[in-house]
Structure 1
Amino acid sequence: MSDLRSAVAKADRRISLAVRGRFADERSVTASRALSWCGEHAAGWLAIGLAGAAVDRERRGQWLRATGVVAGAHLTSMAVKRVVRRPRPHGPGLEPLVKTAGKHSFPSSHAASSAAAAVAFGSMLPAPALRTAAAAMCFSRLVVGVHYPSDVVGGAAMGAAVARAGRRWISAGGRTDG
């Protein structure tokens, strides 16, 4: 198991440094900072869900349930983060470019809420645009240097799993029976 951890740690560091080197230009960093701000505490995704509920009266309940699922994925990731307590990236070339609400890295809550939004809102918004926005949010965490790639992958997997578990509830109008 320690061999696997060591291999993941080496890959995380190598990929993190490569991303930071390739996307160090002002435009990439500015866009990534904006995404980081928008994704803080899932605020951007929650705002999209609430806006959908406000303008799409026919599917208001579906939008609200989907927004609740996104919030649930975010809260789940925060709970796991408090248990795992993995430190954020550090060292030469990995200095953070944004401030974070917490000091723990795994899983990425931005990635969890983004993947959850891509799944939960997927039947109500154009899937390609939604997936692109979620992927950009996830990738931005590497550009600003506050997560390792495995944090982002773990967060995205967790968020998608939470949203998949809630799909039936989202579309069933709150019913949980067959």
Structure 2
Amino acid sequence: QGVVVTEEERVHIQPVRSKDTALLKDLGFSSPHILFRSPGIGAKTARAGHFASRLQKRADGAVKHLELMVVAGPDVYMYHQEDTERYILANLNIVNVNITTNITSSLISVCEWSKKVNPQNDSDPQHADIVLYVTRFDLQLPDGNKELRGVTQLGGVCSSSWSCVITQDTGFDLGVTIAHEIGHRIQEKEKDLLS
């Protein structure tokens, strides 16, 4: 995958997901890709006008669309390198899970969602060992205790069904909560490996 940028055009190239290649007719390509085109930095006014009119057409009617340009600074790229795009897109991803006062059903909801989006094959570059879900919802235990900041299934890192974590975004201590919950998972995995 990659991006080609010229004065006139920007082309984002992305491989077709393996689960979607079965939907394509056999075109004789071993690795089909999708191209997304948009105007380049120095696009002529007429071309830019075309995109403005397209945006206006999209905005007519009951459904509204928002086109978002996300720009990562060079410091972000220097830190994340080749993972910059994945990092930014992951942060923009909106998830349809059901977080409620029932922490068990909330964890099940996140884990079920993660099974749909996380490839099972560990060699897949999109595979994650743990899926972390951050929420602003006030997590609580069944007894009503709201001191809970995160939840996971012990030993879940070894199970594709339970390799998920929910953490509550409470501000600057979020990183501590994330490290704490992931630490539980790593500790359980090490116990299993030592047994």
TM-score scaled by length of structure 2:
0.27
Query: Which of the pair is proportionally richer in helix?
Result: 1
TM-score scaled by length of structure 1:
0.29
- Relative contact order, higher structure (CA 8 A, sep 6+): 1
